[in-house]
Structure 1
Amino acid sequence: MKTTLTSFLLLFLLLAGCSSPVAVQQKPGVDFSQYHTYDWAKTDVKSADSQNPIYQSSLNDEQIQDAINGELAKRGIRMVQGTAKPDFYLTYHLYIEEAERTVANPPAAGFAYPYAFSYRGRLLPINYGYWYSTPYYNTGYRTETYQEGTMILDMVDARSHNLVWRGSMADAVNNPARLGDEFAKSAKDILDKFPVEKQ
């Protein structure tokens, strides 16, 4: 019984650790099966850091929109062609902001722990050249700053202009050169929570 409970707790922690940090808001009573077509709308709501030219790239936008187009196509939802009116408008906002997090300090360098042992009545010293550190030695924690990127994906009904669905996700932005890749992956994670399943 104890082994079963331990196995269950380990499985639960593993699944919890794999869960996506996606937040979703949805307008109650909306039938999402009525939405078959969409078109892109543009928004200019950005954080101060997002205006940095290093984060501005039409290549990033194209990569992000391609990822979203592909995910919606898997659900039978297509972008309109020509002058046709869509069922909903789609837009996204990207925020790049400085954030703080607490991290563990790196392990301390090994240290000599001199001691001697007794063998057949003789006291023999341990070779002090053996360096190691105990796993119980806590080096403490520190606060570090990093760039956090947030993606917000909005779905707006084309007839009522009501916001009917919003998905968002925040994660560290490690490399501005890979911003398109990172946000394209975020977009796919967000759309995993979309109320229309893949076909």
Structure 2
Amino acid sequence: MKSRVKLLFAMSLVSLTIGQMYAQIKSDYDKETDFTQYKTYTFKGWEKESDKQLNEFDKNRILGAFKKELTARGLTPDDSDPDLGITLFVVVNDKTSTSAYTSYNGNMGYGMGRFGGWGYGGMGMSTATTTYTEEDYKEGTIVIDFYDNESNKLVWQGVITDVVKEKAEKREKSIPKHINKLMKKYPVDPVK
């Protein structure tokens, strides 16, 4: 029973570690670009057909979340003469997380002292048990690039890396949440 509790504890530590080390959100942009000049955009598609790694539902979740964030910043879609061209790239990799948990069971005993007195001493025995756990998971990265459509110059890039949730309900919540966090790094705030 104790070993089962220890194993469950170790597995929950692994899950906590994986959950906390992810959802990395980064961005970079051209500091000399005036982003308020951009009013329209078009999605130019997925780089290197990377969208084939996604199902239709997740593609729509990603595109829908970006459209919502762009609209909130006053940008409107325009496929004929857009100010910004936007491309998306996605990578999904198989990963393994390894962790170890060591539990110690120490014992101390009473013994007879050298001159007939009682007290701590004598020989004791302790044991240590190390439990190793491995957990396989998928790591997904979305890269979104904003290009000035006139100069074709990269002006902003955002990157989200996270553990891919197995359940659709969790992806439905996490995708828009992470895209919202990423777009907070875009140089133009939402219009109020």
Q: What TM-score results when the alignment is normalised by the length of structure 1?
A: 0.63
1:157: Cα distance to partner?
A: 0.7
In structure 1, the residue matched to 2:66 is 68
SS at match of 1:42: strand
1:27 to 30, 33, 50: 30
In structure 2, the residue matched to 1:156 is 147
In structure 2, the residue matched to 1:192 is 184
Cα distance in 2 between the residues matched to 1:184 and 1:138 = 43
2:82 to 72, 79, 86: 86
Inter-CA distance 138–150: structure 2 relative to 1 (3 Å threshold) = farther
Query: How large is the Cα RMSD of the aligned pairs?
Result: 3.5
In structure 1, the residue matched to 2:175 is 183
CA contact (8 A) 1:45 1:93 kept: yes
Q: Kindly, what percent of the aligned residue pairs are identical?
A: 24
In structure 1, the residue matched to 2:39 is 36
CA contact (8 A) 2:27 2:157 kept: yes
Count of residues in Structure 1 that have an aligned counterpart in Structure 2? 159
Deviation by residue 1:67-91 (Cα, 9 ceiling, x = unmatched): 11111111111112xx541110112
SS at match of 1:96: strand
Q: What TM-score results when the alignment is normalised by the length of structure 2?
A: 0.65
Paired residue type of 1:23 = K
In structure 1, the residue matched to 2:158 is 167
Deviation by residue 1:36-69 (Cα, 9 ceiling, x = unmatched): 111111133266xx745xx332x32222111111
Paired residue type of 1:87 = D
In structure 2, the residue matched to 1:14 is none
Paired residue type of 1:161 = N
CA contact (8 A) 1:91 1:154 kept: yes
CA contact (8 A) 2:40 2:77 kept: yes
Cα distance in 1 between the residues matched to 2:167 and 2:92 = 10
**1:42-57 alignment to 2 at 5 Å?**
42-45=45-48, 51-52=52-53, 55-57=54-56
In structure 1, the residue matched to 2:117 is none
Paired residue type of 1:65 = L
Cα distance in 2 between the residues matched to 1:94 and 1:181 = 18
Cα distance in 2 between the residues matched to 1:65 and 1:84 = 19
Cα distance in 1 between the residues matched to 2:166 and 2:180 = 19
Note the residue ranges of structure 1 that are not aligned, 5 or more in a row.
Answer: 1-16, 117-136
Greater displacement, 181-190 / 23-32: 181-190
Cα distance in 1 between the residues matched to 2:26 and 2:96 = 20
SS at match of 1:198: coil
